[in-house]
Amino acid sequence: MANRTATGNGSVKQAQPVMAEEGKVLQSYGQLVTMHLGLSKEVCANSVKALNGILADTMTLRDLYKKHHWQISGPTFYQLHLLYDKHFEEQSELVDEIAERIQLLGGISVAMAADVAELTGIERPPQGREEAPVQVSRLVKAHERILIESRKAGEKADDAGDCGTNDLLVSSVVRTNELQVWFLSEHLVPLVHQ
Ligand SMILES: [Fe+2]
């Protein structure tokens, strides 16, 4: 009968998972590696800095949408519950696009909640539940900040020749945020005019 037991003389040590030691950071936040994109390091650094600010705001807005999706109440519960989640998904896509652009420019994307909280310019909401019109107004304000910052950063990137960053900011970030502001703002029109 054939021997069906293990063959060869390899040691089990070769298959043993080994935990890596912590401590070595390949690239610090704020440092840039040179990518061969035909853009100067200074142009990349400026775009990375601006994009990280917009990324922190976008991640905060994304999370604000989920908070409001969970905590919505009142007669507009169902439509806002659904709308908030739709916008959450669209903001999540923007987060990924912005973060990956930062990496491809040679930078490091802000990622973790504590770091995002330090960097964002969007006001921290209360932990508790707010009324629907207050939720909507808070979201509109957050969008407006992102729109202002994105238009400024897009123009600077364009002037510096970084048309890829300009395109991301104008075609994706600005266009998406503008449309979402419209969908939100129409909820702030009173039902009955006195
Ligand atoms: Fe849900």
pLDDT at 150: 98
pLDDT at 47: 98
pLDDT exceeds 80 at position 2: no
Angle between helices 41-71 and 132-159 in degrees, nearest 10: 170
What average pLDDT does the structure give for the chain? Answer: 94
pLDDT exceeds 80 at position 101: yes
Domain that holds residue 44: 36-185
Q: Give the Cα separation of 90 and 85 in Å (integer).
A: 9
Q: Take residue 95 and report the two structure tokens written for it.
A: 């987060």
- For residues 21 and 132, the model is more confident at 132
What pLDDT band is residue 92 in, cutting at 50, 70 and 90? very high
84: CA distance to ligand 1 center in Å?
A: 9
Q: Name the burial class of residue 87, with classes exposed (0-12), middle (13-18) and buried (19+) by CB atoms within 10 angstroms of its CB.
A: buried
Domain-located, residue 3: no
81: CA distance to ligand 1 center in Å?
A: 8
How confident is the model over 105-143, as pLDDT tens digits? Answer: 999 999 999 999 999 999 999 999 999 999 999 999 999
Domain-located, residue 8: no
179: CA distance to ligand 1 center in Å?
A: 22
Number of domains observed in the structure of the chain: 1
What pLDDT band is residue 1 in, cutting at 50, 70 and 90? very low
56: CA distance to ligand 1 center in Å?
A: 23
Give the rounded percent of residues in the chain with a pLDDT score beyond 70: 95
Model pTM? 0.91
85: CA distance to ligand 1 center in Å?
A: 7
Domain-located, residue 7: no
Least confident of 20-34, 95-109, 160-174: 20-34
Domain-located, residue 25: no
**Which one-letter amino acid corresponds to residue 115?**
D
Residue 72: CATH number of its domain: 1.20.1260.10
